[in-house]
Amino acid sequence: MARAVKNKELVNTRLATSYGGWMYCDKCGENIGYLCYSTYDRLELEYKCNCGSRGNILLDFEDSKPGQACDSELVIIKNRFCCPKDQEPLITILDKKMSDYKLEITCKSCGNIYRKTKNGH
């Protein structure tokens, strides 16, 4: 069932569909990752593409619940960042396409807010 998007801000970024699928840098057109459709409640991503463009994404839904901060790390399964509680895939970041990024994603099933950063050169 489709979810009703509440907030959707894309800066220098485009998505393959309204709230998921492949993510692309608008400046160079490079694929920067993949956002799973149904497993996240909220996403904030700020990044710098290797082409020099800075972009960001903010997405949440009408039925999103407030998440709770946690100290747990996302686990990597088949190149995807997954929730450590249920191993559900949340997002894939193509690390080699970005010089730096700051990710904050809320898992829909457990409500934990996971953070991940990469500091560039």
Q: Using one digit for the tens of pLDDT, what is the confidence trace for 24-61?
A: 999 999 999 999 989 999 999 999 999 999 999 999 99
Dist. CA 25–CA 9, nearest whole Å: 14
Can you say whether residue 70 is alpha, beta or left, with left for phi > 0 and alpha for psi between -120 and 50 degrees? Answer: beta
Beta 21-25 vs 31-35: how paired, if at all? antiparallel
Dist. CA 3–CA 19, nearest whole Å: 9
Dist. CA 66–CA 13, nearest whole Å: 25
Q: What per-residue confidence (pLDDT) applies to 1?
A: 62
The whole-number average pLDDT for the span 61-89 is: 94
pTM of the predicted structure, to 2 decimals: 0.94
Task: Work out the pLDDT band at 2, boundaries 50, 70, 90.
Answer: confident
Percent of the chain with pLDDT over 90: 89
| Per-chain mean pLDDT for the chain | 94
The whole-number average pLDDT for the span 80-96 is: 95
Q: What per-residue confidence (pLDDT) applies to 121?
A: 52
The whole-number average pLDDT for the span 59-86 is: 94
98, 47 Cβ separation under 8 angstroms: yes
